[in-house]
Amino acid sequence: MTHGAVSRQIRSLEDWLGMPLFERRGRRVLLTNPGRDYYHAVQSAFTTIIGATRRVTESGAKRRITIDALPTFTMHWLLPRLTRFQLRHPTVELNLITSERALSNAANDFDIAIRRGPLDLPGYQAHDFLVEQEIPVCSPALLERIPLKSARDLRHHTLLSSAGRLHSWERWLNAAGVPGLEVGRRQQFDHFYLTLQAAVDGIGVALGPRPVIDGELAAGRLIAPLAGPIVRARAYCWLLSTARAADPLLRAFCDWLEEEAGVQ
């Protein structure tokens, strides 16, 4: 449709409702307060129609699920397990998007999102399925160069962190009984997967979230030299739009996430 055709449809809708939905400021168009209320009220109905249409048109054909998940979680936890879901549902195509963007009720380019909770997003169901527990981890090579036998030994190490987990080390040091410990150096990365890679490469010590990094520990690329404390962090949760919550395939994927995480 052309811009002119869209404008005529909007004017017809405003005439039928008897009130303006948009405020026109030069070339800018902004929602009025009644327009904003109307948008939020009808959005759920349109989402339901879209979902119903998709289910009818995709009936008997291959289904695709678009999953928007955090990068580190996807790399270290989701991908190594994904084959098990695909074996159960061989006709389903999985489209993975990795991002750390904040979600809003206007985000509709995914079927299921995975974020760290707690989250309360209007128009979506959310449920925790995987609890994260943090413990210091490093490479075996680093440990050979610089011993790490107690929390106080961290003062000789470089502490690695990421922009999305700014206060994790402070929380862990408090739990270990050494609040305010002065360390030799700190290094911060913009993404957490870079923090973990820096730990694998022997650059420093990171707070590794279990069970997300259990594969790295099992392979020996990382080791946890200290027995504790193991500090509970934010849980991972899945988000599914309320309008599509009855979709059996999407529910099956959410149930599979909980099964893999050991949630009964």
Q: Cα(75)–Cα(208) distance, rounded to whole angstroms?
A: 14
Residue 167 near residue 231 (C-beta atoms within 8 A): no
Architecture in CATH for domain 133-232: 3-Layer(aba) Sandwich (3.40)
The burial of 211, by beta-carbon neighbours within 10 Å (0-12 exposed, 13-18 middle, 19 or more buried), is given as middle
**pLDDT tier for residue 84 given thresholds of 50, 70 and 90:** very high
Whether the domain at 3-56 and the domain at 62-131+235-260 fall into the same CATH topology: no
Rounded distance, CA 68 to CA 109, Å?
9
Task: Calculate the average pLDDT of the chain.
Answer: 86
Taking the C-alpha atoms of residue 127 and residue 132, their distance in angstroms, rounded to an integer, is 14
CATH for the stretch 3-56: 1.10.10.10
pLDDT by residue (tens digit) across 191-250? 888 999 999 999 999 998 988 889 899 999 999 999 888 899 889 999 988 888 888 999
Instruction: Determine the pLDDT at residue 22.
Output: 85
Question: In the chain, what are the domain boundaries?
Answer: 3-56, 62-131+235-260, 133-232
For the four alpha carbons of 17, 21, 25 and 28, in that order, the dihedral sign comes to negative
Are 263 and 238 contacting, i.e. CB atoms less than 8 angstroms apart? no
Structure confidence at residue 14 as a pLDDT band (50, 70, 90): confident
DSSP 19: S
Local confidence band at 141 (pLDDT 50, 70, 90 cut-offs): very high
* pLDDT tens by residue, 21-54: 888 777 777 888 888 888 877 776 776 676 666 6
Q: How far apart are CA 142 and CA 109, in angstroms?
A: 42
Rounded CA-CA distance 79/198 in Å is: 21
Nearest to 151 by CA among 50, 247, 226: 226
CATH assignment of 62-131+235-260, among 3.40.50.2020, 3.40.50.300, 3.20.10.10, 3.40.190.10: 3.40.190.10
